[in-house]
Chains A and B, each alone.
Chain A
Amino acid sequence: MVRTGELDGLIGMVVTRSISSGTLLSERDFVMLSSTVRAMSIPVDPEHAVGGALRPGDRVDVLQSADGIARYVLVGAEVLMVGDGTGGALGGAGRYAVTVALDAESALEVAAALSEGTLDLVRSTGSAPPSVLVYPPDA
């Protein structure tokens, strides 16, 4: 719960879920985006995103697969928000989407990956970075 006096620290932070009028607010409902970090929503079906179980604060890797080749396009990105597909700012027209923090170059790579092939989001919270970035290795 957010008490009187704690609100000032939350002003300007980004809301991580849609909140109905009258709902108690929690600090977990907010995330601070720095001025140097970009946020990008990745539209993906829940079955390609840990069954829809991702939550703000999770770390994810983004994989692209096409023509029998899979590669990592983003590793260890923080999940900022998860659109549940029911509408609102992130859900759009009923589409599930996961918003991640990334830099400008990574945003370009993800945008390019979105334009072709299939994307999968893999929860990597607490995991070591992958040692193999492309499969098959000689692709």
Chain B
Amino acid sequence: TVSVAVAAEDISAGARLEADMVRFTPV
């Protein structure tokens, strides 16, 4: 099992990625 990143919120094109925009989920 590994953890992969998913969007924690809707992210608009052109935004700069911040850590709180991402959460991890096991797959």
Contacts and interface: CB of A to CB of B under 8 A. Distances in A.
Nearest to A80: B14
Interface of B: 2-19, 22, 24, 27
Given A3-B3, A11-B19, A15-B14, 13 more contacts: A3-B5, A6-B5, A7-B5, A7-B19, A10-B17, A14-B14, A15-B13, A19-B11, A25-B6, A25-B7, A25-B22, A88-B14, A89-B12
Contacts of A7: 5, 19, 22
A contacts with B: majority SS = loop
A2 B15 CA distance: 18
Interface of A: 1-4, 6-7, 10-25, 30, 81, 83, 88-91, 99
B14 to A, nearest CB: 4
A74 to B, nearest CB: 20
A15 B5 CA distance: 14
B17 A30 contact: yes
A12 B17 contact: yes
B14 A21 contact: no
Contacts of A10: 17
Contact of B16 (A14, A18, A19, A88): A14
Contacts of B5: 1-4, 6-7, 24-25
